[in-house]
Structure 1
Amino acid sequence: MPLGLVAQRTIKWQGMKLNELDKQGRKQGEWLFFDKKGNALMHCQFRNDKVISPRVFFNNGDTVLVRLEPNDSLEHFIYYYKGQQVSGAFVNSGDQFRIELDHIPQGFTREDIAELKRWYAVKIEPVYMFGMQPLVDYFSAAYYKANTIPNWNHNFVVTIDASGRVTNVEWEKKDELWTDNVEREVFGMFYNMGRWQPFFDTWQTKEIKLTMSLGADLHTITAR
């Protein structure tokens, strides 16, 4: 199936236009990443698909970690611990990893170190329309407009590229007879859907495949 064309160049959030893609599909300018409920998780800036700013991570609306661009084996950060700013660095040297802090805050424990390490390894999962629109709402509207509505369940593997666009759809073959119209409508639903929030891992977004179970009851489940 051909690559679907995505109309949205930006995403509207609280009156602001964010998460821009240029005509070449490259990420530009201010970007926010969200959880499934639409809460902001991370902010950064892109230029031609490359992160060019610190990554600022949020927890319940508050800044929890600011990560600066790595320099060789060092990645400096500012960690907000119970109202205190703690400067430090993530150090990767060969197979060795450690966390260095400029001072140990009062009450800081091994559990807090483990939490900071978790923030280092955090990955932001793909979310349909950046959490601004429920996935089931999209498929409900698409099914309503369809001339042929499938009445069986199928599993699909959907490829989302590093810009959040659906680039490939594969399906689990079953015994039902697929007419040309059914196939066209089913795959049109996927290729014409809005942008996804791309998968973010460490310093860059990456292509990812999602499995999706979709049936006539409009119950949709996505998982890595």
Structure 2
Amino acid sequence: MIWRLLFMLLFFPLAIQAQKTIKWNGLQLNAIDKKGRKQGDWLFFDKKGNALMQCQFQNDKVVGPRVFFNEGDTVLVRLTPTDSLEHFIFYHKGEKISGAFVQNEDRFRIELDHIPAGFGSAELAELKRWYAVKIEPVYMFATQNLIDYFSAAYYKANAIPNWNHTFVVTINASGKVTHVECPSRDELWTENLENEVFGMFYNMGRWQPFFDTWETRDIKITMSLGADLQTITSR
């Protein structure tokens, strides 16, 4: 269970509290240090706020296993790869199945120490899906709503008109907005408006960074934003 795996967090040094963290169920998680590097235990979520994966970072690098969850239960533990092998433990109907993902050049296969009763093509397909899973960026790790942030930012703004625009936002590997582009600008676009709008993005709280295989990566998302505060993000 998630709580069992995160129990150790309660005993982390108090120094981590001084770092930039995300608060989730009373725990301070997903810390970055003063250099913007990911440190300690991290949780990644889906858009509904369900925990998907837990891992530990040291100076931006994943150390130790990655643990994947399904509705709060552990479904897969993936160990650090060695050469072409990545060992794992897959939980199937309460039974632990040890195995390995094997990648040799362009060939991929899954090896299991045993095939339990009821384990068929559907279960194998699920295991392949977990292997290929990529975790998308989510604002504030799904602990806060994007619409709430922009609602407050609009309320404080002075120069934002009643219009719709599309922005391309770059989120770096630690979840910070580092670049904003507005591909199309109309006659209402002014220097003051640009400062107001771009400031909204650059002052946002951290996003959940895009996680791909064994590391987080920079990513660009497209966001359509209008005065009605309806927001759409996509890859």
2:73 matches 1:99? no
- CA distance 1:8–1:36, shift in 2 (3 Å): farther
* Residue deviations 1:19-53 (CA, integer Å, cap 9, x gap): 00001100000100011111111000000000011
Letter in 2 for 1:44: C
Residue type of the alignment partner of 1:193: M
1:36 aligned to which of 43, 47, 70: 47
Question: What SS is found at the alignment partner of 1:44?
Answer: strand
Q: Could you tell me how far apart the structure 2 residues matched to 1:182 and 1:174 are?
A: 11
Instruction: Pick 1 or 2: higher relative contact order, CA cutoff 8 A, min separation 6.
Output: 1
Residue 89 (str. 1) matches residue 100 (str. 2): yes
Q: Which amino acid aligns with 1:99?
A: I
Aligned-partner Cα distance in 1 for 2:153–2:181 = 19
- 1:1-224 map, 5 Å: 9-224=20-235
Per-residue CA deviations over 1:160-188 (Å, capped at 9, x if unaligned) read: 00000000000022322322221111111
Superposition TM-score, scaled by structure 1 size: 0.95
Task: Give the unaligned 5+ runs of structure 2.
Answer: 1-17
Task: Report the AA paired with residue 131 of structure 1.
Answer: A
Match of 1:3 in 2: none
Task: Report how far residue 111 of structure 1 moved.
Answer: 1.4
SS for the counterpart of 2:43 is strand
Contact 1:8 1:194 (C-alpha < 8 Å) held by counterparts? no
Report the residue type matching 1:198 in the other structure.
P
How far apart are the structure 1 equivalents of 2:27 and 2:57? 17
- Give the Å deviation of 1:8: 7.4
| Residue identity in the other structure for 1:170 | E
Q: Which amino acid aligns with 1:56?
A: V
- Kindly provide the amino acid, as one letter, of the partner of residue 108 in structure 2: F
CA drift of 1:198 comes to: 0.2
Q: Is the 8 A contact 1:8 1:195 kept in 2?
A: no
Distance 1:187 1:8, change over 3 A: farther
Judge conservation of contact 2:19–2:33 (CA < 8 Å) in 1: no
CA contact (8 A) 2:19 2:34 kept: no
Contact 1:160 1:207 in 2 (8 A): yes
Number of aligned residues: 218
Change (3 A) 1:190 1:8: farther
CA contact (8 A) 1:198 1:205 kept: yes
One-letter code of the match for 2:203? N
Q: Distance in 2 between matches of 1:28 and 1:205?
A: 13
The CA RMSD over aligned residues, in Å, is 1.1
Distance in 1 (alpha carbons) for counterparts of 2:222 and 2:177: 13
Gaps (5+ residues) in structure 1? 1-6
Q: Percent of aligned pairs with the same residue?
A: 76
